[in-house]
Amino acid sequence: MAIQAGERMPSGVLKTMTPEGPRDIATEELFKGKKVVLFSVPGAFTPTCDAKHLPGFVQLADQLRAKGVDTIACLAVNDVFVMNAWGKASGVGEKVLMLSDGNGEYVKALGLELDARGFGMGLRGQRFALVVNNGLVEHANVEAPGQFKVSAAEYVLGQL
């Protein structure tokens, strides 16, 4: 079952790129004592994700931070190298933390996996945005198939 508002985020390990190379980041480290917007895309460089979803969070990063958000993180079932390249190509800088869930284990733990085999993409994560405060989900915005509304940066900003 998909994670809901009021529930605690599951434990897991994601990857991010650092100047020294790939690094594991435990979800406890990511969420403990922080307000985090974690948004998920079906894939790096895919049309809606690349043209709208990630750019929206980059553009509104300062406004989200002004509302108390400590970390804005983009999650995808792509490897850490692809996520790093996408972040560079999109000019995220320090505004968005690019996270890899390479095997899709974390999206599965959230109950938000997506079977995209029909598109030749294998198993991925659904399009969603979670507002997490100290590990507790405050808002769980999961898109209907083919939609891009409730996980958009503008929508999340309106919830804060």
- Asked if residue 129 lies in contact with residue 138, where contact means CB atoms within 8 angstroms, the answer is no
Mean per-residue pLDDT over the chain, rounded: 93
- Asked if residue 102 lies in contact with residue 77, where contact means CB atoms within 8 angstroms, the answer is yes
* H-only helix segments in the chain: 27-31, 47-48, 54-59, 61-66, 80-90, 105-110, 153-159
Tallying the residues shown for the chain, one arrives at 160
pLDDT at 143: 93
- The residues, any chain, with a CB within 8 Å of residue 27's CB and separated by 6 or more, are 9, 10, 11, 12, 13, 14, 106
pLDDT digits (tens, 9 = 90+) for 41-61: 988 887 676 778 899 999 999
Is domain 13-159 annotated with CATH 3.40.50.2020?
Answer: no
Residue 58 is given by DSSP the state H
Reply yes or no on whether the pLDDT at 63 is more than 80: yes
Reply yes or no on whether the pLDDT at 13 is more than 90: yes
CA atoms 21, 27, 32, 35: torsion sign? positive
pLDDT digits (tens, 9 = 90+) for 3-12: 999 999 999 9
For range 100-116, the mean pLDDT: 91
* Candidates 14, 49, 58, 99; catalytic one: 49
49 a catalytic residue = yes
DSSP states along 92-137: -TTSSEEEE-TTSHHHHHHT-EEE-GGGT--EEE-SEEEEEETTEE
